[in-house]
Structure 1
């Protein structure tokens, strides 16, 4: 497993696929990271508060799109 630091610079777009996946187009700085002894290897994603707020807005919009495509039950 390769371990990386991923720093989100900018969110450019978001979309949903027919397979139920969310796809985000981003500008990111990706650098290799050495594993720390005794800790399970993990990649890290970091972003500014402003980018975190953009991510939250994009997630809400994409989830609303998923919900809009679900069949409504009728009683």
Structure 2
């Protein structure tokens, strides 16, 4: 009886270890994939920010005062 319980316990623990091991591997793979994607997004963002800084800023059209049309109408 004790031998049977020991064998069942070892089999159960082995099954759990195998399942967790494959789950950990799968989670690590997904984590690495997500890290690569986030790194790519950050590189694209920094590249677009650098490109925007290199461009000369245009004069804002809002600096030119516009006539108030509502005052002209009576």
Measured against the shorter chain, the TM-score band is 0.3 to 0.5
Larger Rg: 2
What's the TM-score once normalised by structure 1's chain length? Answer: 0.36
What's the TM-score once normalised by structure 2's chain length? Answer: 0.36
